[in-house]
Amino acid sequence: MAGSRRAKAWRSAANPIIAIVLLMFVWEGAVRLFKIPGYLLPPPSEVLAQIGDHARILANHAGATLTVIVSGFFLSALIGIPLALAISFWPFFNRTIYPIIVFSQLIPKVAIAPLFVIWFGFGFLPKLLIAFLISFFPIVIQSIVGFTSIRPEPIRVALSMGAGPVTLFFKVRLPHALPNIFAGLKMAMASASIGAIVGEFIASQQGLGYLILVANGEMNTPLAFAGMLLLCFTGVALYFLVETAERLATGWHVSRRVGAAT
Amino acid sequence: MALAGGNALVPEKVREPEIKIEAISKVYPANDGDIVALRNVSIDVGHGEFLSVLGPSGCGKSTLMLLVSGLEHASSGRIEINGQIVDRPFTDVGIVFQDHALYDWRTVLDNIMLQAEVRKLSRHEIREKAHKLLARTGLAQFENKYPHELSGGMKQRAAICRALVHEPPFLFFDEPFGALDALTREQIRIDLEKLWLERRPTVLFITHSISEAVALSDRIIVMTPRPGRIDHIIDVDLPRPRDKAVMASEAFSDYCESIIERFMEQGVIQY
């Protein structure tokens, strides 16, 4: 029984991979057939060749981007979740910090980034800050929903057992909020990736975003594509890691049951 | 003292009330006029007594249970359990709500084990008791299942097991069978009486079902519609256990009829 379930899991994981491979063939075929110039749309064969030729450089830049994304993500989680806690349970924070956070999201990060360059110069810090600023908002909003959507009865049950506020939080409020928190974390991971690239466009001389920018500037489209391809894989891999953590932590939730969409 | 076992004997009237509800009122402030949920309710509950509070929706009976459990504060009056004033959540109790309030993220067994975790009891002992209770309520196969894999009746049984496993001297029920179908309700009520007869904890049972109250209780407090006051107190002098013969007896239907008449006088039931 379990064997066939695992076999099905492999098959369903294979589906998107097969689709991508087929897409690559179509892409290759179309470029050759319509004689599309390389600087407009390079065929996959050339992109892969680029990756092969410049493997070490690409790896270095990919590593730099990976560091920014992961750091930005963890920073948002470490700050976002306690912030959501404060906003959910202390009216003072709800009235003061919460509006400021919302206000901060209305300012496009692309506009702020040059300001960060002036304040912090080029390098890791401004990139980290941009990734953080974009990605912590979904975590805060989702976590607030998770913390404030619990019904009174589960709380009362624990109170009548003698649970204090700490026990109540770790045994009742937090588990209840986890599905929402993970939804926020997934969005944050995607946003951290975008934030890292934006940061690299503006405030860095390292990373895949920087590489794509330079490659575009030199009309080296295959290299730009190579950078973008690596970026996609990195983003998907990281997102998949968060999804796996979600499955392990919230496998019991109604959204993950047999027959549900995901 | 409560009698051990329960062979068709009515518990003796007790000397010192274990729960003293004195002149309790509860008002919920609202913009368009305060809501008086309870007005000047006084009840004494004796040791080992099974007391029902019976009334229509909105009569404040659920509020009464929250006040007695210390989960809400009364607007005026006082509540004492065993001589101690209740001004914070009372913990020497097992509580069952209308919606089972089991935790989705825990298995049935782990939900029951929560009692051991929070109350810092011996996990080994509680686990043994949990196994026994689950077996007695027909849930042995479902120990390691999650609540969403159980039917409504099974979830409520699991909630009852959770309330009983630490053998508390008090049990509070808030319309525990309200969300169940009629057949399940019959069975689970029969099972509850059997379990209760083993240790005879003091029970406060909130319900809107007349037959349920008569079938289970030693005494019934009949409430008026909002603002909730005590309309009538009925001593139920029926033998225990309340088996099919008792349920079909004339005495039983007389009790039910007299209660229906109270509700007709109040206008709650109108033919």
User: Is residue B152 assigned to a domain?
Assistant: yes
Residues B124 and B116 sit within 8 Å (Cβ to Cβ): no
Would you give the distance in Å from CA A165 to the centre of its chain? Answer: 32
Provide, rounded to the nearest whole percent, the portion of chain B with pLDDT above 70. Answer: 94
pLDDT, one tens digit per residue, over A35-93 is: 888 778 888 888 888 888 888 888 999 999 999 999 999 999 999 999 999 999 999 98
Which domain, by its residues, includes B138?
A: 102-168
Number of structural domains in chain B: 1
For the four alpha carbons of B147, B150, B155 and B157, in that order, the dihedral sign comes to negative
Q: Would an 8 Å CB–CB cutoff place A158 in contact with chain B?
A: yes
Instruction: Give the pLDDT confidence score for residue B4 in this predicted structure.
Output: 43
| Residue A254 to residue A257: CA distance in whole angstroms | 5
CB contacts < 8 A, A to B, total 61
Instruction: Calculate Rg over the CA atoms of chain A.
Output: 22
| A259 band by pLDDT with thresholds 50, 70 and 90 | low
- As for the ipTM of the complex, it is 0.88
Would you call A250 and B119 a contact, using CB atoms and an 8 Å cutoff? no
Evaluate if residue A13 carries a pLDDT over 60.
yes
Highest mean pLDDT among B28-32, B198-202, B225-229: B198-202
User: Is residue B233 assigned to a domain?
Assistant: no
Cβ contacts of A205 within 8 Å, gap of 6 or more: A122
- CB contacts, 8 Å: A156 with chain B: 66, 69, 71, 89, 95, 97, 101
Helix (H) or strand (E) holding A173: none
User: Is residue B244 assigned to a domain?
Assistant: no
Q: Would an 8 Å CB–CB cutoff place A26 in contact with chain B?
A: no
Instruction: Give the pLDDT confidence score for residue B226 in this predicted structure.
Output: 84
Instruction: Label each residue of chain B as H, E or C.
Output: CCCCCCCCCCCCCCCCCCEEEEEEEEEECCCCCCEEEEEEEEEEECCCCEEEEECCCCCCHHHHHHHHCCCCCCCEEEEEECCEECCCCCCCEEEECCCCCCCCCCCHHHHHHHHHHHHCCCHHHHHHHHHHHHHHCCCHHHCCCCHHHCCHHHHHHHHHHHHHCCCCCEEEEECCCCCCCHHHHHHHHHHHHHHHHHHCCEEEEEECCHHHHHHHCCEEEEECCCCECEEEEEECCCCCCCCHHHHHCHHHHHHHHHHHHHHHHHCCCCC
User: Is residue B182 assigned to a domain?
Assistant: no
pLDDT, one tens digit per residue, over A146-163 is: 999 999 999 999 999 999
- CB contacts, 8 Å: A171 with chain B: 114, 117-118
> From the CA of A3, how many Å to the nearest CA of chain B?
21
Nearest CB partner across the interface for A159, out of B89, B97, B104? B89
pTM of the model: 0.84
Selected residue with higher pLDDT from A238 and B59? A238
- CB contacts, 8 Å: B169 with chain A: none
Nearest CB partner across the interface for A160, out of B90, B105, B146? B90
Mean pLDDT of chain A: 89
Evaluate if residue B14 carries a pLDDT over 80.
no
Q: Would an 8 Å CB–CB cutoff place B76 in contact with chain A?
A: no
pLDDT, one tens digit per residue, over B167-180 is: 999 999 999 998 88
Evaluate if residue A186 carries a pLDDT over 60.
yes
| B3 band by pLDDT with thresholds 50, 70 and 90 | very low
- Letter for the amino acid at B59? C
Nearest CB partner across the interface for B105, out of A162, A252, A257? A252
User: Is residue B11 assigned to a domain?
Assistant: no
Evaluate if residue B99 carries a pLDDT over 80.
yes
Instruction: Give the pLDDT confidence score for residue A258 in this predicted structure.
Output: 67
User: Is residue B31 assigned to a domain?
Assistant: no
Instruction: Give the pLDDT confidence score for residue B15 in this predicted structure.
Output: 56
Evaluate if residue B247 carries a pLDDT over 80.
yes
Would you call A161 and B146 a contact, using CB atoms and an 8 Å cutoff? no
User: Is residue B114 assigned to a domain?
Assistant: yes
Would you call B101 and A153 a contact, using CB atoms and an 8 Å cutoff? yes
User: Is residue B265 assigned to a domain?
Assistant: no
Would you call A161 and B119 a contact, using CB atoms and an 8 Å cutoff? yes
Residues B171 and A160 sit within 8 Å (Cβ to Cβ): no
Give the count of beta carbons closer than 10 Å to the beta carbon of residue B96: 24
Average pLDDT for residues A164-174, to the nearest whole number?
Answer: 95
Average pLDDT for residues B75-93, to the nearest whole number?
Answer: 94
| B8 band by pLDDT with thresholds 50, 70 and 90 | very low
Nearest CB partner across the interface for A162, out of B99, B119, B148? B119
Q: From B89, which residue of chain A is nearest by alpha-carbon distance?
A: A160
Q: Would an 8 Å CB–CB cutoff place B118 in contact with chain A?
A: yes
Instruction: Give the pLDDT confidence score for residue A69 in this predicted structure.
Output: 95
A152: helix, coil or strand? helix
